[in-house]
Structure 1
């Protein structure tokens, strides 16, 4: 594969990283939780829908079941955290999602195994081609969805009364409760919405990224790297971070000698940005 073609393929993957990075950023901003189970919830909902939906039903039925299942799982997790860890630190609240991630991975292994599942992508083939370079429909759709979700979230949070309440809960939860805001209800709304979107995205992508449910859950790592580029606060930088990680992975595949390093790209990005974010603290101590 030539370098430019590998870059385009990498950007298609990067669009998926970006869209999940946007969800991670929204969760961190609105609920004070780094939701490590974000991808796992969507994967479990999508694959469970395929397992129990009778053959012959239209594809949109599977998507609806996947979204409802993922939303219910996510809302249940959100209810547990908001009920027993409402005033806890972000670290403590996020630790619960790590346990959920491990539980869903184990359950996915038991129910779905390691074999590829009959989960074809909804959009097959290239949107357009330029010589030997093909831009896939799925990749373009994922990028569009990332931008749309980010734009809608920004619009809601900055221009609507609902957004004011959500930001108030994020900044001062106790004060929001004293003012009569339905804190738990709004938090569960955020959890359910992001869960439903996770199920939708996995249903659209299908098996274009990996062959089994457990291996698709690993998409969390590059998605977290994308969110970290945006410091879990900036949606545009998160989208850029997802595309960056995907592009770097794609470029490495064009060099067979070092192509195995592509799986290290998200980890390297995470480490570099963690070090960059700590630079001020280290500099202050040094002074």
Structure 2
């Protein structure tokens, strides 16, 4: 029983990282209707900024916070000068452009910082906390706490502030919001900026667990996209719940299902995503869109 609880605890830790990036994907989709396949690479760019500041002598947390803040205008510029002209285009064209952004940003990161992996400093103390025989690393606890804080802040912003209400209005109906006098262009830029900040946070959380490299978020993007689709592309809470569930299920499957093991764990979210899309295309927490003819 202890082994199962240990796998669940480890799964919640990795699921928290998936959830951070899944929230960014949902945020962009709700604001603009675009699924940004370059979201993880944008986060990697921010993580490299944090690593650069740290290598210059800035303490790790101030470096991460500075990189998150710098990611906001980066995301806003991408929306204003790259994405905005695509809103009227076919969805397939938008997907191709965001995939192109992923490839281009990976090349830019490699050109600036090189393609070799680097060690990213730990964000939390080393060591473990043992509870009922289950070892919880401080990094796992830290990841979960960061996720809880992010979810609470986003919930307060979207539900309790005028800015959040305006963002939700633009997400629901951009044209009507413009007629009401809302600065839709600025709000769209803000949505992409916030998503870029979340992507940077996710990259900085995962970098100490692996190695910092231009392509380090590519696999995480698959899990985050699966979580966003499973939970519903218009549901931040659904994305978080689905990401945590994916982390737990893939850990349990890798440990106790012999033909899956470590190498086949990535098939778990893909299989879950396929099943949900067949049975409930809008996602577990998503709302079915009704179109009047």
TM-score by length of 1: 0.84
- Tell me the residue number matched to 1:236: 237
Partner in structure 2 of residue 266 of structure 1: 269
Q: Residue 286 of structure 2 corresponds to which residue in structure 1?
A: none
- Aligned runs of 1:1-287 on 2, under 5 Å? 2-51=3-52, 54-81=55-82, 83-88=84-89, 91-126=92-127, 128-130=129-131, 133-210=134-211, 212-255=213-256, 258-259=260-261, 260-278=263-281
Give 3-state SS (helix, strand or coil) of 1:225's partner.
Answer: helix
Distance across 1 between alignment mates of 2:132 and 2:126? 15
Q: Using a 3 Å threshold, how does the CA distance of structure 1 residues 181 and 82 change in structure 2: closer, same or farther?
A: farther
**Judging changes above 3 Å, is the alpha-carbon distance between structure 1 residues 232 and 132 closer, same or farther for their aligned structure 2 residues?**
same
In structure 1, the gaps of 5 or more residues are 280-287
1:112 CA drift (Å): 4.3
> Which digits, 9 at most, give the CA deviation of each residue in 1:6-33, with x for residues without a partner?
3321221011111221221122112211
Distance 1:160 1:107 in 2: 37
Tell me the CA shift for residue 132 of structure 1.
5.2
Change (3 A) 1:185 1:211: closer
CA-CA distance at 1:231 after TM superposition: 1.3
The whole-number CA distance in structure 2 between the counterparts of 1:64 and 1:147 is 17
Asked whether the 8 Å contact 2:48–2:212 carries over to 1, the reply is no
Aligned-pair distance for 1:101? Answer: 1.3
Q: Structure 2, unaligned stretches of length 5 or more?
A: 283-293
For the residues of structure 1 that align with 2:217 and 2:13, how far apart are their CA atoms?
15
Change (3 A) 1:217 1:146: same
Q: Distance in 2 between matches of 1:99 and 1:189?
A: 22
What is the RMSD computed on CA atoms of the aligned residues?
A: 2.7
SS of the residue aligned with 2:123? coil
Q: Which structure carries more helix by proportion?
A: 1
Q: CA deviation at 1:143?
A: 2.7
How far off is 1:94 after superposition? 4.3
SS in 2 for 1:212: coil
User: 1:207 and 1:110 mapped to 2: Cα distance?
Assistant: 22
* TM, length-normalised to structure 2: 0.83
**Deviates further, 263-272 or 250-259:** 250-259
Report which stretch shifted further, 18-27 or 135-144: 135-144
- Are residues 3 and 213 of structure 1, via their aligned partners in 2, closer, same or farther at CA, if it must alter by over 3 Å? farther
* Distance verdict in 2 for CA 1:257–1:277, change over 3 Å: closer
Partner deviation per Cα, 1:37-75 (whole Å, 9 max, x = no partner): 222111111114424654432223421442244323322
Contact 2:44 2:216 in 1 (8 A): no
Is the 2:250–2:266 contact (alpha carbons within 8 Å) kept by the matching residues of 1?
yes
How many residues are paired up?
Answer: 279
Change (3 A) 1:274 1:152: same
Contact map agreement 2:54 2:60 (CA 8 A) in 1: no
